[in-house]
Amino acid sequence: MKNKLTIAVLSGKGGTGKTFVSVNLAASAKNATYLDCDVEEPNGHIFLKPVNIKTKEVFKTLPTFDKEKCIGCRKCIDFCRFNAIAFIKETPQVFNEICHSCGGCKFVCPVGAIGETTKCVGTIQSGTTNDINVVTGMLNLGEASGVKVISEVLKNSSDNNINIIDCPPGSACTVMESVQTADYCVLVVEPTIFGIHNFKMVYELVTLLGKPCGVVINKYTEEVNELTSFCSENNIEILTKIPYNKEIGQINAQGSLAYEKDKNTKNTFDNLLNKVIMEISK
Ligand code: SF4
Ligand code: SF4
């Protein structure tokens, strides 16, 4: 088995226990790197409590327009599939928050009227806790896309131990960016109607990307027929079922790591990690 293993933890929606699974998996893996790509609400550091934090700013590139050179052909506007450029007072202007920094508008401008500038869109905080490297991406308020911050977080992946990626919830392009390097995807789902609906979308995404995956059912109850039938019809491995537990809820609410406080949780995550490693080795 190769030394580097990358496990992405995903969920169809927020609040399903994705971060709970990610941080406890990282605790089980010990010599691990925890990469928090849930850049709009990065919470893993609250549980892992890293120290010796170093902060780095993340910048994105934005187009600038030279009024004197622009001939008003609108090729830049037609090209931008994100609709990030508008003609205002006879001059193209960019909406910084929705520009994805693809650089295409500069490429298509026939007269070289488009230049470049940079803007800070977020930060990366790196620290350690015991043997875990904790890397947290934080998107600045008002920014529409976390892709740039996520790609910077992923550059901190370790080449010789286990990487746990805490992905953004849902199935948007930020999730695609987060799982690109994953060897295996752990899909966390709560057995509610909304939870199952969103789970199917995220399952579709990882299948499209050709990633092997398995399911963790969080707050498990016996009434999960639709979810278990879907998994069985699609040959999706149910890796573990974590029943609702009030004490674990309290440990989480205090920002503590259940892996360290509760023996059953420790066993659950040690078994889960072993199962995932076995699945990757197949
Ligand atoms: S850099 Fe790309 S996304 Fe940004 S305005 Fe130009 S074409 Fe649109
Ligand atoms: S492509 Fe260049 S010349 Fe044409 S509108 Fe845009 S900036 Fe102006």
| Closest ligand 2 atom number to CA of residue 85 | 6
What's the chain's average pLDDT?
Answer: 90
Q: Does residue 162 contact residue 7 with C-beta atoms inside 8 Å? A: yes
Q: Does residue 83 contact residue 54 with C-beta atoms inside 8 Å? A: no
| This model's pTM is above 0.85 | yes
Return d(Cα 219, Cα 197) in angstroms, integer: 16
What backbone torsions phi and psi does residue 221 show, to the nearest 5 degrees?
A: -130, 170
pLDDT in tens, 161-186: 899 999 988 767 777 778 888 999 99
Q: How far is the CA of 112 from the centre of ligand 1 (A)?
A: 15
| Closest ligand 2 atom number to CA of residue 87 | 5
Q: How far is the CA of 80 from the centre of ligand 1 (A)?
A: 5
Return d(Cα 186, Cα 210) in angstroms, integer: 14
Residue whose Cα lies nearest atom 4 of ligand 2: it is 73
pLDDT in tens, 99-121: 888 899 999 999 999 999 999 99
Return d(Cα 119, Cα 215) in angstroms, integer: 39
- CA-nearest of 45, 84, 68 to 76 is 84
* Cβ-Cβ contacts under 8 Å for 145 (sequence gap 6 or more): 98, 100, 173, 174
* pLDDT greater than 70 at residue 1: no
Around ligand 1, the residues with Cβ closer than 6 Å are 63, 79-80, 82, 84-85, 94, 99-105
pLDDT in tens, 51-100: 999 999 999 999 999 999 999 999 999 999 999 999 988 889 999 888 88
